[in-house]
Amino acid sequence: MFAFAPLHTAASAAATVVTWLADVLAPLPGGAATAAAIVLFTAGVRLLISPLTLAQVRGERRRTALAPEVRELQRRYADDPARLQSELFALYRRAGASPVAGCLPALLQAPFFLIMYRLFATGDGAPELLGERLAGVPLGWHLGDGLAGPVPVVFGVLLAALLALAWWSSRRMRRTAAATAGAVGGSTGDGPGAAVLGRVLPLLPFGTVLVALVVPLAAVLYLVTTTAWTALEQVLLRRPQPMVIDKR
């Protein structure tokens, strides 16, 4: 348990903020104050780490712009792996890009998501939060805890929202992959492994729906909020960039 003490402390701090927000929003009817506090807290955390996402998007654009040169180097030094690695590192260094920079923001975001999941799924730091209700359904209830009254309606609306967001994200991933392949003049992958990966990745957004089937209502609210935020980031940060035409 000692190994998880920092995580418990962070979850307790997050619970304090959520409780304070719920007190501020207490005039909301139907016990919606705590649910609204969860939504606001999740949005606040996503806003806090948005610079990491922006850095990730910039890195992706740099690597996409370098894709034709990378392919040329791979063709030229196909029989010399050591020289290929040297040339690739030199190319990324000149462009101010890194082949692994895009992974770092996601890794740095993981602790935030772990803390929020621990808080909203287990009530760590503030178990009383899960006793609050949304439209008559306790925030600590799972979908299987009862299929009568408002339970199917509340979970049904949230699951439908998650399903719609997953479909939209999956569709956008497919279109982005196709556009990227067209921009670099190749297919979405090189070999059967990449082809399988190209088919599997668009299915990943639907994993959120599966998770929502087994976590408490509070965690479902978190999943809907963070997934919607991600979709909004996709629209705002990953807009197609206008092509610059050289008129010389």
Dihedral sign computed on CA atoms, order 233, 241, 180, 74: negative
Q: In Å, what is the CA distance from 126 to each residue of 8, 11, 140?
A: 10, 8, 12
User: How far apart are the C-alpha atoms of 205 and 169, rounded to whole Å?
Assistant: 7
Q: What is the pLDDT of residue 2?
A: 39
pTM assigned to the model:
0.73
Question: Which of 154, 120, 121 is closest to 136 using CA atoms?
Answer: 154
Q: How confident is the model at residue 247 (pLDDT cuts 50, 70, 90)?
A: very low
Of the two residues 191 and 98, the one the predictor is more confident about is 98
Residue 154 has pLDDT above 80, yes or no: yes
User: How far apart are the C-alpha atoms of 68 and 182, rounded to whole Å?
Assistant: 11
Let me know if residue 112 belongs to a domain. Answer: yes
Q: How confident is the model at residue 147 (pLDDT cuts 50, 70, 90)?
A: confident
For the chain, state the CA radius of gyration: 22
Let me know if residue 243 belongs to a domain. Answer: no
Q: In Å, what is the CA distance from 210 to each residue of 110, 166, 206?
A: 19, 11, 7
Question: Which of 137, 188, 143 is closest to 162 using CA atoms?
Answer: 143
- The token pair at 142 is 């799972």
Let me know if residue 242 belongs to a domain. Answer: no
Contacts of 34 (CB under 8 A, 6+ apart): 18, 22, 129, 132, 134, 139
Q: What is the pLDDT of residue 158?
A: 93
Q: What is the pLDDT of residue 194?
A: 46
Residue 46 has pLDDT above 90, yes or no: no
Let me know if residue 244 belongs to a domain. Answer: no
Q: How confident is the model at residue 127 (pLDDT cuts 50, 70, 90)?
A: confident
Residue 133 pairs in a beta bridge with 138
The model's pLDDT over 157-185, given as tens digits with 9 standing for 90+, comes to: 999 999 999 898 888 777 766 655 544 44
Structural domain tally of the chain?
A: 1
Q: Which of 45-59, 103-117, 130-144 has the lowest mean pLDDT?
A: 103-117
Let me know if residue 248 belongs to a domain. Answer: no
Let me know if residue 246 belongs to a domain. Answer: no
Question: Which of 183, 229, 185 is closest to 41 using CA atoms?
Answer: 229
Let me know if residue 115 belongs to a domain. Answer: yes
Highest mean pLDDT out of 56-65, 114-123, 176-185, 216-225: 216-225
Domain that holds residue 197: 2-237
Q: What percent of the chain has pLDDT over 90?
A: 6
> DSSP H helical segments within the chain, as ranges?
5-24, 32-48, 50-76, 81-95, 103-122, 151-184, 192-200, 207-212, 217-237
Helix (H) or strand (E) run with residue 134 in it: strand 133-134
Please provide the average confidence, as pLDDT, over all residues in the chain. 76
